A and B are shown apart, each in its own frame.
Chain A
Amino acid sequence: MKTFKGGIHPPEEKQLVKDNPIVDFPLSSRYHVLVQQHLGAPAKPVVKAGDEVRKGQVLSEPLGFVSVPVHAPTSGRVKEIGRIVHPVTGLLAPCVVIDADGRDEWAEGLPMERDPFAMSRDELLDAIKTAGVVGMGGATFPTHVKLSPPKDKTIDTFIVNGAECEPYLSSDHRLMLEQPERVLKGAGVVMKILGLDRATIAIEANKPDAIKLMREKAPAEIQVEALKVKYPQGAEKQLINALTGREVPSGGLPMDVGAVVQNAGTCAAVWDACARGIPLIERITSVTGRGIVQPKNIRVRVGTLLREVIEFSGGLNGAAKIIFGGPMMGIAQFTQDIAIMKGTSGVLVLREEDTNITDYSACISCGRCVEACPMGLIPSTLSKLGEKGMWQKAKENNLLDCVECGSCTYVSPANRPIVHFVKHLKALSRAASAKK
């Protein structure tokens, strides 16, 4: 079975939620839609307090090419342009607060019916940007940018990422099982945009039902590939390497080796955007972990508060850590008053015994982190430099190649928070270059 070099195999823990069908999250009375839900230039709110909005209506305009709008998740009135804690930065960030009117009425002309395969490449890209589609695996990079490689890059490989290598999470798994057509048709649209006549759907072997179903449903030009269960199999560079043997050059992008990767959920969103003009206002999220009473896979509107999601899932039970995303790369939250975003693939609630809250000790140079690092780095050295804040030296030791997958930190017997040190060093490096 295809895979990459390095990596780890933590307990999968998918059994908690993988067999729970997707349920619709009920309509809330109030939504907090963050204006910045994507990687790149910010967007600017275009509504003001008191405005009536309809479901799917644009709330913010993108500023620049690498930027996307956000949309109203339901119909109602704008209460205010407020501020709410951003799940990624932990800082207060602007959001559009919408009081729902309960009618859940679509904006004028939505949803529409059109044939994406009759549309031009530029029309499709515009539809994707207008719908605010971003990478839904968690990185939230604007999808239209990824699908617009510069002229000098020849793209010959398109991979649909259904690996879902993060433990616990099953949102992509449920999507592929319950709505395979959306994923496959979306993949077809992406192939048209890229001018390719073939694609590969990559799924980790721990989802045999999804692999089987996809093989049944996929057209001949879309190949389904089972991957070895190993973290971080779904990381873009590792996925390309496993399937094609190519290595994205250090500091480069997948397009440098002719590859484009899109998450399965992103493909589904691309289909909605292109075929029906529906913006990205809801997503499938796994609410799971032993700290939540009833783990669920929910179809939830962007802007729904975490507090409501937790209540809907039976409440907390001995929660020690609340995480947006998976246990390996997700972000720990300190309040329930944060909102679901386009990139929230999971809400994970860990109990104390399932998480890691012990202190760290000195590195014993066991080399486990070196074995685990999928990027061929020496994480132990980075962690020692991190303790001293030596970011220049760390850059000489390939600091910027680290993808923060957490494999090194998972295996470190001294429990060294290597990813934490790497983030710290990168921040120091950024601050220094900002000063220049």
Chain B
Amino acid sequence: MKNISASNPAEDPAREQATKLSVYVSSSPHVHSTEDVPWIMRQVIYALIPGALVGVYFFGIPALKVIAVAVVSCVVMEVLWQKLTGNPITVKDGSAVLTGLLLAMNLPSGAPWWLVVIGSLVAIIIAKQLFGGIGNNPFNPALVGRVFLLISFPVAMTTWPEPRSFFSQAADATTGATPLGALKTAIFEHGTIAAAPGMNLMDPFLGNVGGSLGEISALALILGGIYLIARKIITWHIPVVYIATVAVFTGILWLINPEGYASPSFHLVAGGLMLGAFFMATDMVTSPITNTGKVVFAAGCGVITVVIRLWGGYPEGVSFAILIMNAFVPLINRATRPTKFGAVR
């Protein structure tokens, strides 16, 4: 904005000298809400802290390392890219920090540092900056990073350290399966879910299960999600509809055949649904702009998640579901435009 010094040229010069005015001149409005992009990013980061802390509690220092490497490398990638391409450095908006944190929360705690760095590179450079940076990326950067790693490094990405209390971490940490992984194995090998070990609900609710370091505690993630809704960072539409769609879809199948399908309550707490529904699918840039659009988008995420979980090759489908629905966002936005005031009906 220009800082204009001026005075009426029609008046005499002496008076002009005495009354020089230095003020800003710009279009209305002249006041603005205090809620800017960095503030929004900070709120989301605060909301992720409970989930991240549970991850660190159950997986120990390695989880903390993954988080640190992801955040630092995402920030560094963004700065380097913008320096190299001669673009303004936008790292202060906090989005790269958030992408790093989200990527880390979608990785196993045992992920080696180089894996995390590759994931950050894909997320920031390929998924975000190549499309034009913040606001212009069609796909959720953290999820692109995660899915790239999952496809390219399947072993490293599905080696799940067993959760244990922070205070009893041993050097020779053992690995195990995630609840959804165990379920898929049971169905593949025995054709029934009865063979899946210990499908209690309290462990995944609190976080005492194998999985990505930030997805294990449904409780912590719901708390963070409620904070985001209360602060009006996100609306209820995406998380509620996403979770409800998964519940209804799996519920119908479970009622028809309880031997062949796990209960809806299991599907809600297991895997990455809560992380996806509250934090990944609600990414503003890659989700629809209207509330109606958000409902459509979230229902699609729910259906695809269940289809992949039940009939797909992967035990978990949240990441794929959200990325697939990201691609539909422009179409959804077009189809769900609000009716303008005074539209001729």
**A binding-site residues for B, Cβ under 8 Å:** 5, 8, 10-11, 82-85, 92, 167, 237, 241, 247-252, 307, 319-323, 325, 327-338, 348, 350, 354-359, 361-367, 370, 373-378, 380, 398, 401, 404, 406, 409-415, 417, 419-420, 423
Number of A-B contacts (CB under 8 A): 183
B256 interfacial contact with A, CB 8 Å: no
Interface residue? B85 (CB, 8 A): no
Tell which of B7, B134, B343 touches A362, judged by Cβ atoms closer than 8 Å.
B134
Chain A residues contacting B27 (CB-CB under 8 Å) are: 332, 417, 419-420, 423
Would A409 and B29 count as touching, CB distance under 8 A? yes
**Top-4 shortest CB links A-B:** A337-B8, A406-B29, A362-B135, A356-B32
Q: Which residues of A contact B289 (CB under 8 A)?
A: 365, 367, 370, 378, 380
Shortest distance from the beta carbon of A253 to any chain B beta carbon, whole Å: 11
Q: Give the distance in Å from the alpha carbon of A415 to the alpha carbon of B36 in the complex.
A: 7
CB nearest neighbor in A for B4: A334
What are 27 of the A-B contact pairs (CB < 8 Å)?
A: A84-B8, A237-B341, A241-B341, A247-B341, A249-B343, A249-B344, A319-B23, A327-B29, A329-B28, A332-B25, A332-B26, A332-B27, A334-B6, A335-B6, A336-B21, A337-B7, A356-B29, A361-B37, A364-B40, A364-B284, A370-B289, A370-B290, A378-B289, A406-B28, A413-B37, A413-B39, A420-B26
Whether, in the assembled complex, B1 has its beta carbon less than 8 Å from a beta carbon of chain A, the answer is yes
Binds A, one of B70-78, B143-151, B257-265, B332-340: B332-340
User: In chain B between 290 and 345, which residues have their CB closer than 8 angstroms to a CB of chain A?
Assistant: 290-291, 337-344
Contact of A363 among B40, B135, B340 (CB under 8 A): B135
Cβ A366 vs Cβ B284 within 8 A: yes
- Could you tell me the distance in whole angstroms from the C-beta of B247 to the nearest C-beta in chain A? 25
**Residue B35 lies at the interface, judged by CB distance under 8 Å to chain A:** yes
Please, which residues of chain A bring their CB within 8 A of the CB of B37? 361, 364, 413-414
Q: Tell yes or no: B165 within 8 A of A by CB.
A: no
Cβ–Cβ contact B136 & A327, under 8 A: no
Chain B, interface size category, equals 35 or more
Task: Tell me the minimal C-beta distance from B334 to chain A in angstroms.
Answer: 10
Return B283 CB to nearest CB of chain A, in Å: 9
Q: A334-B4, A362-B133, A367-B289 given as contacts; is B341 within 8 A of A410 (CB)?
A: no
Question: What CA separation (Å) do A392 and B289 show in the bound complex?
Answer: 22
Residue of B nearest to A305 (CB): B8
In the complex with contacts A85-B8, A410-B31, A250-B344 CB distance below 8 A: yes
Given contacts A320-B24, A415-B32, 20 further A-B contacts (CB under 8 A): A10-B33, A11-B31, A249-B343, A329-B28, A330-B28, A330-B30, A332-B27, A332-B30, A333-B25, A355-B24, A357-B24, A361-B93, A364-B135, A365-B135, A367-B284, A377-B340, A378-B338, A401-B340, A412-B32, A417-B26
- Would you give the shortest CB distance from A270 to chain B, in whole angstroms? 27
Residues of A within 8 A of B36 (CB): 358, 413-415
In the bound assembly, the distance between CA atoms of A370 and B344 in angstroms comes to 20
Query: CB-CB contacts of B82-95 with A at 8 A, as 1s and 0s?
Result: 00000000100100
Asked if residues A364 and B30 are in contact (CB atoms below 8 Å), the reply is no
CA distance A328 to B25 in the complex (A): 14
Contact A250 B290 (CB under 8 A): no
Q: Is B172 part of the contact surface with A, judged by Cβ < 8 Å? A: no
Interface readout for B1-12 with A: 1 if CB under 8 Å, 0 if not? 100101110110
Q: Does B175 contact A (CB under 8 A)?
A: no
Q: A330-B28, A415-B36 are in contact. Are A247 and B10 (CB under 8 A)?
A: no
In the complex, the answer to whether A365 meets B285 with C-beta atoms within 8 Å is yes
| Chain A residues near B30 (CB-CB < 8 A) | 321, 323, 327-328, 330, 332, 348, 350, 355-356
Give every chain B residue within 8 A of A380 (Cβ-Cβ): 289
* Chain B residues numbered 116-141 whose CB sits less than 8 Å from any CB in chain A: 132-136
> Given A332-B25, A332-B26, A361-B90: A374 and B6 within 8 A (CB)?
no
**Least CB separation from B35: chain A residue:** A413
Contact of A252 among B29, B40, B136, B342 (CB under 8 A): B342
- Complex contact B11–A362 (CB within 8 A): no
Q: Does B19 contact A (CB under 8 A)?
A: yes
Cβ of B213 to closest chain A Cβ, rounded Å: 26
Give the dominant DSSP class at B's interface: loop
- A367 near B290: Cβ-Cβ < 8 Å: yes
Chain B residues within an 8 Å CB radius of A338: 8
Alpha-carbon distance A92/B10, docked complex (angstroms)? 9
Contact for A354 among B8, B31, B132, CB less than 8 A:
B31
Grouping DSSP codes into helix (H, G, I), strand (E, B) and loop, the A interface class, with mixed when no group exceeds half, is loop
Partner of B7 from the list A335, A359, A415 (CB cut-off 8 Å) is A335
The CA of A354 and the CA of B33, in the complex, are separated in Å by 10
Complex alpha-carbon distance, A413 and B44, angstroms: 14
A320 touches B135 (CB 8 A): no
Closest to A330 in B: B28
Asked if A250 and B6 make an inter-chain contact with CB atoms under 8 angstroms apart, the answer reads no
- B338-A370 in contact (CB<8A): yes
Task: Tell me the bound Cα distance from A328 to B29 in angstroms.
Answer: 4
In the complex, A355→B287 CA distance in Å? 31
Which residues of B lie under 8 Å from residue A420 when comparing CB positions? 26-27
CB distance from A199 to the nearest CB of B (A): 23
Among the listed A362, A398, A419, which residue makes an inter-chain contact with B340, where contact means beta carbons less than 8 Å apart?
A398
Provide the residues of chain B in CB contact with A248, threshold 8 Å.
341-342
Within 8 Å CB of B133, what residues of A? 362
CA distance A406 to B288 in the complex (A): 22
Complex CA–CA separation, A172 to B19 (angstroms): 31
- Check A250–B341 contact: CB distance below 8 A: yes
Nearest chain B CB to A128's CB is how many angstroms away?
28
**How near does chain A come to B301, taking the closest CB pair, in angstroms?**
17
Q: Select A337's contact among B11, B136, B284, B288, beta carbons within 8 Å.
A: B11
Chain A residues positioned under 8 Å from B23 (CB to CB): 319-322, 332-334
Find the A residue at minimum CB distance from B31.
Answer: A327
Tell me which residues across on chain B come within 8 A of A404, comparing CB atoms: 28
A contact residues around B291 at 8 Å (CB): 367
For the complex, give the distance between the alpha carbons of A367 and B40 in Å: 13
Q: Is the CB of B136 within 8 A of A335?
A: no
Whether A410 and B340, one on each chain, are in contact in the complex, defined by CB atoms closer than 8 angstroms, is no
Shortest beta-carbon distance from A137 to chain B in Å = 15
Complex interface: chain B residues within 8 A of A378 (CB): 289, 337-338
Q: Tell me the minimal C-beta distance from A344 to chain B in angstroms.
A: 15
- Picked from A249, A331, A334, the residue with its CB within 8 Å of the CB of B28 is A331
* Closest Cβ–Cβ distance, residue B258 to chain A (whole Å): 40
Query: Hey, which chain B residues are within 8 Å of A331, CB to CB?
Result: 28
Complex: A247 Cα to B343 Cα, angstroms = 8
